[in-house]
Amino acid sequence: MPERAYIAIGSNLGDRRAYLEAGLKEVATLPNTRLAEVSHAYETPPLGPVAQPDFLNAVFAIETSLAPEPLLAALLAAEKKHQRQRRIHWGPRTLDLDLLLYGERVVESAALILPHPHMHERSFVLVPLCEITPDLRHPVTGRPFAEYLAALNGSEAKAVGPLALPALP
């Protein structure tokens, strides 16, 4: 039976919107996977000490029969296909795909932690997540993600409009 998974997507190099749209298409065409919802794109400042351009970020939901680990592997392969280079922690990137939630599952392995351990601290995740699913709750704490967002000291996320959804067969 398919599970609903939430994925954050971002880019701050090159044609950011094109990279986000390409990433959506990559995930939407995975086996046994259907794109369910996509937030607007938001422009946000980068995290960390590295000087770099602002990001475009969004969150999308999929329905998938892929298990979490193979889904993560597919996300990493999509990043690599679109020239993602992991040279600098919190550095610039063409495409960033982060698995945030996979149903209600809690996973702690060497390769994957679910829910994403920092998602509730990041407005660039919470703003688009709450846009598409305002009543969603953290699977461990039970607290609504909208409460986490309200607790942050403002959001620097600026909506820049919808993403083009991939044409699917």
Could you say which of 98, 105, 122, 135 is catalytic? Answer: 98
Could you say which of 15, 86, 93, 137 is catalytic? Answer: 93
Domain residue ranges of the chain, discontinuous segments joined by +: 3-160
pLDDT tens for residues 23-61?
A: 999 999 999 999 999 999 999 888 776 778 999 999 999
- Is 34 considered catalytic here? no
Q: How far apart are CA 87 and CA 66, in angstroms?
A: 29
The structure tokens listed for 90 are 């919190």
Segments in 29-144 forming alpha helices (H) = 68-81, 123-132
Could you say which of 17, 96, 122, 137 is catalytic? Answer: 96
pLDDT at 117: 93
Could you say which of 4, 16, 17, 84 is catalytic? Answer: 84
Segments in the chain below pLDDT 50: 169
The structure tokens listed for 157 are 């996320």
- Is 98 considered catalytic here? yes
User: What does residue 155 show for φ and ψ, rounded to 5 degrees?
Assistant: -130, 135
pLDDT at 169: 46
Which CATH architecture does the domain made up of 3-160 adopt? 2-Layer Sandwich (3.30)
Q: How far apart are CA 131 and CA 107, in angstroms?
A: 25
- Is 143 considered catalytic here? no
Contact, 95 vs 19, CB < 8 A?
yes
pTM of the model: 0.91
Cβ partners under 8 Å of residue 169, min gap 6: none
- Is 93 considered catalytic here? yes
Q: How far apart are CA 14 and CA 83, in angstroms?
A: 11
